[in-house]
Structure 1
């Protein structure tokens, strides 16, 4: 890889090194911090032992959060599209009234 740098992140007190583009360093650090928090949450709220099991549980929780947020976003988009369609109808009615008055 050209123009990459090595970034060290800590997840559950274990160090990991990754290579990434300079413009991706901040996102990598933020992602690692988020993952660390989720894994610590799993570790403190369960009797799950083993880094691999904790990682899988955290990944499932993150996937569930992502899917829920995606569904919520889709519902907001659909609602907004419906409202836009409704407002366009009202605008068309108002424009038609104005046109009929001007005739």
Structure 2
């Protein structure tokens, strides 16, 4: 089991202390920088006021992007399965004709 460590990240100029496994520290810091960047973009647009609303909008945007990527991945997986089926059919046909 990986020992846990406390990591301090800064998001919109606020510090948060978060416990995470030692081997996940870099990933957590990258995620925090990503979130901070998204929240700053939204705040700079001037269309959303208040840290809580900025956070919700960032979360919605990230969730939307994740759903879109998951859907694309499912489509690619489906296409790959179909291509494998077609290749197996070709192999079966080739072996059956011998």
Q: Is residue 2:22 matched to residue 1:16? A: no
Deviations 1:66-101, CA, capped at 9 Å, x for gaps? 000000000000011011101110010101112xxx
- 1:20 to partner: Cα distance: 1.3
Distance in structure 2 (CA, Å) of the matches to 1:84 and 1:44 = 47
Provide structure 2 residue ranges, at least 5 long, that are not aligned to the other structure: none
| TM-score, structure 2 as length reference | 0.92
Tell me if 1:75 matches 2:95.
no
Q: Where in structure 1 are there 5+ consecutive unaligned residues? A: 99-103
After TM superposition, the structure 1 = structure 2 runs for residues 58-73 of structure 1, keeping only pairs within 5 Å, are 58-73=58-73
Give the stretch that moved more between structures: 64-73 or 5-14.
5-14
**Count of residues paired in the alignment:** 97
SS of structure 1 residue aligned to 2:97: helix
Q: Tell me what 1:85 maps to.
A: 85
The 1-side partners of 2:56 and 2:17 are apart by 20
Structure number with greater Rg is: 1
For residue 37 of structure 2, give the secondary structure of its aligned residue in structure 1.
Answer: helix
Runs of 4+ in 1 over 3 A off after TM superposition: none
TM-score, length basis structure 1: 0.88
Q: 1:26-51 deviations in whole A, cap 9, x for unaligned? A: 11101101111111111122421110
